[in-house]
Structure 1
Amino acid sequence: MQTIVVGGGYAGLRAVQLLAGQNLPVILVEPRREHILRPRLVAAAAGRTALKEVSVPLARVLPTGVRHLQATALGFDPETAAVETDYEMLQGDRLVIAVGSEANLSASGAPRYTLPLYSLEDLQQALSHWARLEDALQRERCDLSLLRWVIVGGGITGVELAAELVHLARRWRNRYGGLAEAIQIHLIQRGSRLLPDWPVQASDWVTRWLKRHRVIVQTATAVRRVRADGVVLEGPAGPEELATQTVFWTGGSRPVRLEEEPADLRDKSQFLRVDPYLRLVDYPRTYAIGDSVLPFNPQLNRTLPPCGQLAVRSAEVAAANIVAESRGEALTAFVPTIERIALSLGAFDGLAVVDGQVLTGTAGWTVAQAADLFYFNAIQNPLLARMAPELFSGTGLPSERQ
């Protein structure tokens, strides 16, 4: 039973490795040569992580026998499990859609004037921006708009980025003094609190941490417009304008949609509609996993925010079901749960929730580092994932979608 997997992110790569591990033929459609470790983009964007540590060559992590078609998927036929790419047409017995998510640059001017952090190209753009700003600082040609850094979005990525910029600002103050002392970091959150899907205790703790480190946290505040020289906000006190030339956009994402996919496959939020086994509704030969679907827990009767660990877990369930189909066995329903989740606040500081318990400081940082290191090593040595599957899919990989 040949399976075509479209997308080589967390979900797609995990599905490929599991299917190939069961000796099923697999084709991966992914235009990139590398697997991006998206959570590391944040530290790299602030200069704390080297560029080479942000991705892993797919050739290193794909099992022997997997065909990697380095092409862009244009569309698919869910009924026949066929995929059209910009290189060739593919036909499989089963199809897995794992194309992930992209930045939802919803405010006027955001696509042109903000810095998202979703790809290596985004990272290169951010690093070039810092290089220009640092050059201006060295030449003492900075005005306040260059020294005010704005982050839109108070989910995991936004909070981690704010913390990384705290450390970057500290390094620049120590290095340059003078004008660098005027650096301001603003974190803008549309909702009433940071980390809205986390326990209130965790949200309150991280808010205090950021404020203690001179971050200006503005909740219940929407971004109405982004310009080359600033942002227009709407908060509890009314409209406000901030002069800035640095706006990072971490304020939400949306599922990627292929150019020529069939109509009526998605819900009103643009997620692919799936049955309990992660097959597209009315199309049992095609599965959807990762950020392409909105996880629903029937026991809790609510959806859960798409994130890295749920992407991996959905891939595990879909792969197990394809293997079961090949053997004529019963399928397994996907019941998403988030038992552990963590974020890093830079050097030996972090926040984690493990089995309902909030861990802060060094303990939280340790959980975040363990999750990152385990995933990094497990994708290169699947034996680790088989030895401790609950760690692989339940380590609290940082969210792909805020």
Structure 2
Amino acid sequence: MMKRLGNRDRPVHVKDDCFKSFHFLKLYLEVALSPKLFYNKREVKQKKTILILGAGFCGIAAALELDKNIDHESYRIVVVNKRNVHIFRPNLYELATAFNERITKACLLELRESVAIPLHQIFKGTKVKCLIDTILAIDPKTKTVTLTKNEPITGEILIMAMGSAVNYYGITGLKANSLTMKSLSDSLKISCDLDNLLLKLWESKTVRDVELVIGGGGATGVELACELPGYINKLCCKYNYPRDRVHITVVEGSDRLISQGGKVVELVKESFKKYTIRLMLRTRITKATATTISLRHPDGTEELLRHDLLIWTGGVRAHPVIENSFEQRAPNGSLPVSQFLELQNLPDIYAGGDSAQIINQTTGAPLPWLAQLAQAHGSYIARRILAKIEGKTTKPYKPKFKGVLVPLGGSEAIYMKDETVIKGRLIHTLRSLVDLLYSLHILPIIPALHRWWRAQRVFSRND
């Protein structure tokens, strides 16, 4: 029989609080707050319109660069986005593993604010206008965008920066029986579901093996796997549950981790061993149910693995609106672009970030979808548009890869660039500074410092 926590009859977490608070936040996220920046149709008709579809890394960079240099008497910049916030997605894994003694509306909102930056803060002092709505369809020929709540809007120039969606690769039952980590609410649901899982076991006084499975060994899967042990330690203490009965398994279809082989794989394996994480390489998930996943191993053998929680981080593809609106697409649904990030045979339509397939002219392979590159795409597209307006030429886009930083739990991280691979505490600190630099790039100094410090304080509770 499990012991109770001190003299209390129950943990301070209350089941109803968890679900009421989570659904409160989900509703809060779904309802767009009245933005301080508004879209005026009458003004737009008097000027040429540059439509930026999406407020991710690419869209924000393009809007800010255009605002600094464009003739605002002739052009209007309109950002169309589903939410009135910009989500700093590299830190979503922190929300999925965020521990709170009691899950309340206040703590969920605090977590939200650590990664969600209001658009009115980003565009304060600029002439960028925001249209908060859901995009239903795009007509490339007329450059008309169909929206859910507003009338269709047409622009003279379009920038496709809509991000990506989860790719389930047609695996039977995977979408219905797994959690993902693509949005803020996705990440908070992982945290709440894990808490509720151990709460139910505590209430029923049941002790058994708890199986947590992560499908996908890319950057998202690895950083989540390495951060989960700290969260689980706190949950087990909270519910007085045996820590050695909670297991984490990472299933990866290739023989690589974080899209790398060799030394990177060995260093990640070291971290997995430290946290007692089971790793299955070259193993594919072929089917998923509410309680099991079917696996196919390298030798062709099949295995049925039980799970209490399945988190899918195994792949992404272009936004479905893009796939349904454009005829010429890459296999992952993205838009093939020229060396000037412009669509072939569709002048004045540009694509960047996860919306674009950009070929590395040196290697001949598509560029990876990374936040740092998406930001660079947005800046380049803006400069290209400005140059065309002024009748000037520009050099073709050339990627500048700064390397990848991936947290490995606690205060460790790994840095990778070409043949350079470094792991340690200093890299984790560097990752934090990179977050600060990004905040300073899109926000005034004081709000940027405040946001960064608040996020660091929230995330430090996870370590």
Which secondary structure does the structure 2 equivalent of 1:371 belong to?
helix
Label 1:305 to 1:143 Cα distance change in 2 as closer, same or farther (>3 A): farther
Shift of 1:234: 1.0
**Paired position in structure 1 for 2:269:** 207
Compare the two structures and name the one with the higher strand fraction: 1
| Candidates 174, 192, 201, aligned match of 1:110 | 174
Tell me the distance in 2 between the aligned counterparts of 1:199 and 1:35.
33
Tell me the distance in 2 between the aligned counterparts of 1:271 and 1:55.
25
Which secondary structure does the structure 2 equivalent of 1:111 belong to?
coil
Does residue 53 of the first structure (1) align with residue 114 of the second (2)?
yes
**Paired position in structure 2 for 1:229:** 291
Tell me the distance in 1 between the aligned counterparts of 2:379 and 2:336.
18
Label 1:179 to 1:245 Cα distance change in 2 as closer, same or farther (>3 A): same
Tell me the distance in 1 between the aligned counterparts of 2:446 and 2:357.
29
Does residue 75 of the first structure (1) align with residue 126 of the second (2)?
no
Q: Which moved more, 1:8-17 or 1:229-238?
A: 229-238
Work out whether residues 341 and 358 of structure 2, in 8 Å CA contact, stay in contact via their aligned partners in 1.
Answer: no
Shift of 1:235: 1.2
Label 1:343 to 1:371 Cα distance change in 2 as closer, same or farther (>3 A): same
Tell me the distance in 2 between the aligned counterparts of 1:120 and 1:362.
27
**Paired position in structure 2 for 1:217:** 279
Work out whether residues 50 and 78 of structure 2, in 8 Å CA contact, stay in contact via their aligned partners in 1.
Answer: yes
Structure 1: gaps of 5 or more residues: 386-402
Which secondary structure does the structure 1 equivalent of 2:293 belong to?
strand
Shift of 1:305: 1.5
The 5 A counterparts of 1:180-191 are 180-191=243-254
The 5 A counterparts of 1:1-400 are 1-23=48-70, 24=72, 25-47=76-98, 50-63=111-124, 64-86=126-148, 87-106=150-169, 107-139=171-203, 141-142=205-206, 144=208, 147-196=210-259, 198=260, 200-236=262-298, 238-258=301-321, 261-354=324-417, 356-381=419-444
Work out whether residues 152 and 158 of structure 1, in 8 Å CA contact, stay in contact via their aligned partners in 2.
Answer: yes
Which secondary structure does the structure 2 equivalent of 1:14 belong to?
helix
Shift of 1:216: 0.1
Q: Which has the larger radius of gyration?
A: 2
Tell me the distance in 1 between the aligned counterparts of 2:235 and 2:196.
14
Tell me the distance in 2 between the aligned counterparts of 1:351 and 1:186.
20
Work out whether residues 145 and 153 of structure 2, in 8 Å CA contact, stay in contact via their aligned partners in 1.
Answer: yes
Shift of 1:177: 4.7
Tell me the distance in 1 between the aligned counterparts of 2:257 and 2:427.
17
The letter for the 1-side match of 2:180 is P
Tell me the distance in 1 between the aligned counterparts of 2:256 and 2:344.
35
Work out whether residues 202 and 241 of structure 2, in 8 Å CA contact, stay in contact via their aligned partners in 1.
Answer: no
The letter for the 2-side match of 1:187 is V
The letter for the 1-side match of 2:69 is Q
Deviation per CA, 1:256-301: give whole Å up to 9, x if none: 0317954422123311121111111101110011101123111222
Deviation per CA, 1:177-196: give whole Å up to 9, x if none: 54332110001100012122
Deviation per CA, 1:13-57: give whole Å up to 9, x if none: 111111112134200111101111112110111115933212111
Shift of 1:254: 0.5
Tell me the distance in 2 between the aligned counterparts of 1:142 and 1:39.
36
**Paired position in structure 2 for 1:391:** none
Label 1:190 to 1:268 Cα distance change in 2 as closer, same or farther (>3 A): same
The letter for the 2-side match of 1:358 is V
The letter for the 2-side match of 1:310 is L
Which secondary structure does the structure 2 equivalent of 1:95 belong to?
strand
**TM-score computed with the length of structure 1 as normaliser:** 0.89
**TM-score computed with the length of structure 2 as normaliser:** 0.78
Shift of 1:379: 1.6
Structure 2: gaps of 5 or more residues: 1-47, 100-109, 449-463
Label 1:174 to 1:5 Cα distance change in 2 as closer, same or farther (>3 A): same
The letter for the 2-side match of 1:9 is G
Tell me the distance in 2 between the aligned counterparts of 1:372 and 1:150.
29
Shift of 1:222: 0.4
Which secondary structure does the structure 2 equivalent of 1:109 belong to?
coil
Q: Which moved more, 1:30-39 or 1:135-144?
A: 135-144
Work out whether residues 285 and 295 of structure 2, in 8 Å CA contact, stay in contact via their aligned partners in 1.
Answer: yes
Which secondary structure does the structure 2 equivalent of 1:236 belong to?
coil
What is the RMSD of the two structures over their aligned residues, measured on CA atoms? 2.3
Tell me the distance in 2 between the aligned counterparts of 1:38 and 1:271.
19
Tell me the distance in 2 between the aligned counterparts of 1:233 and 1:249.
14
The letter for the 1-side match of 2:52 is V
Tell me the distance in 2 between the aligned counterparts of 1:353 and 1:321.
30
Tell me the distance in 2 between the aligned counterparts of 1:199 and 1:225.
27
Deviation per CA, 1:355-398: give whole Å up to 9, x if none: 6422211122122222222213322139999xxxxxxxxxxxxx
Shift of 1:135: 1.0
Q: Which moved more, 1:54-63 or 1:242-251?
A: 54-63
Label 1:356 to 1:70 Cα distance change in 2 as closer, same or farther (>3 A): same
**Paired position in structure 2 for 1:388:** none
Work out whether residues 342 and 368 of structure 1, in 8 Å CA contact, stay in contact via their aligned partners in 2.
Answer: yes
Work out whether residues 321 and 331 of structure 1, in 8 Å CA contact, stay in contact via their aligned partners in 2.
Answer: yes
Q: State percent identity of aligned pairs.
A: 27
Tell me the distance in 2 between the aligned counterparts of 1:28 and 1:131.
37
The letter for the 2-side match of 1:139 is E
Label 1:259 to 1:353 Cα distance change in 2 as closer, same or farther (>3 A): closer
Which secondary structure does the structure 1 equivalent of 2:186 belong to?
helix
Work out whether residues 317 and 332 of structure 1, in 8 Å CA contact, stay in contact via their aligned partners in 2.
Answer: no
The letter for the 2-side match of 1:45 is A
Tell me the distance in 1 between the aligned counterparts of 2:241 and 2:92.
29
Label 1:144 to 1:322 Cα distance change in 2 as closer, same or farther (>3 A): farther
